[in-house]
């Protein structure tokens, strides 16, 4: 039974790492399309970089590192077996960032249409 558990651990570890590595490599090599990730996609938009998207990307990266660090910290501190408690402030920050992104997207998609519709 011990051999089976050891084999399963290694198998799952290798498979998950391989999956993440394949997706990351394909993103970096361009096989997964990442063009336009930060572009303004509103109807009358310039198509340039959107600040709302940039801030969401930065918050996403920061939050991901925060969670990985918390998990590693908990395991290193000898308290394994549970997920770390996330500070409410961090959650509020992430929620705010998503709200800004969605608000900006909703406004940019809806406002130009209603403006153009006024003249018709």
Partner 1 sequence: MLFLQGAPDYGFHLLALVMGWTVTILVGAFALAIIFKMVKGDINLMYLIAGVDGDASLSRFQFLIFTFVIALGLFLIILSQNPVPAFPATIPGGILALLGISGGSYVTSKAVDANASKPTVVVPQTVVQPSGQQTTVVMPQSD
Which of 28, 49, 111, 116 lies at the binding interface for partner 1 (CB under 8 A)? 116
The least CB distance from residue 46 to partner 1, in Å, is: 15
- Scanning the structure block, which residue is given the tokens 């063009």? 35
Of residues 68-97, those binding partner 1 (CB under 8 A): 68, 71-72, 75, 80-88, 91, 94-95
CA-nearest of 49, 41, 57 to 98 is 57
Buried b (16+ CB within 10 A) or exposed e, 54-93: eebeebeeebeeeeeebeeebeeeeeeeeeeeeeeeeeee
What are 61-70's contacts with CB under 8 Å, separation 24+?
63/90, 63/94, 66/90
Judged by CB under 8 A, how many residues of this single chain contact partner 1?
63
Q: Is 48 in the site for partner 1 (CB under 8 A)?
A: no
Residues at the site binding partner 1, with contacts judged by CB under 8 A: 1, 4-5, 7-9, 11-13, 15-16, 18-20, 22-23, 26, 31-39, 41, 43, 53, 56-57, 60-61, 63-64, 67-68, 71-72, 75, 80-88, 91, 94-95, 98, 101-102, 105-106, 109-110, 113, 116-117, 120
């Amino acid at each position: 039974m011990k051999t089976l558990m050891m084999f399963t651990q290694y198998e799952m570890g290798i498979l998950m790492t391989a999956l993440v590595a394949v997706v990351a490599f394909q993103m970096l090599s361009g096989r997964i399309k990442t063009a336009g990730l930060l572009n303004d996609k509103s109807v009358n938009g310039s198509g340039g970089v959107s600040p709302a998207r940039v801030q969401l990307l930065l918050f996403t990266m920061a939050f991901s590192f925060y969670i990985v660090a918390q998990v590693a910290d908990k395991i290193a501190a000898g308290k394994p077996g549970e997920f770390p408690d996330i500070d409410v402030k961090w959650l509020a920050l992430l929620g705010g960032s998503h709200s800004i992104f969605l608000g900006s997207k909703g406004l940019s998609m809806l406002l130009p249409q209603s403006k153009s519709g006024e003249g018709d």
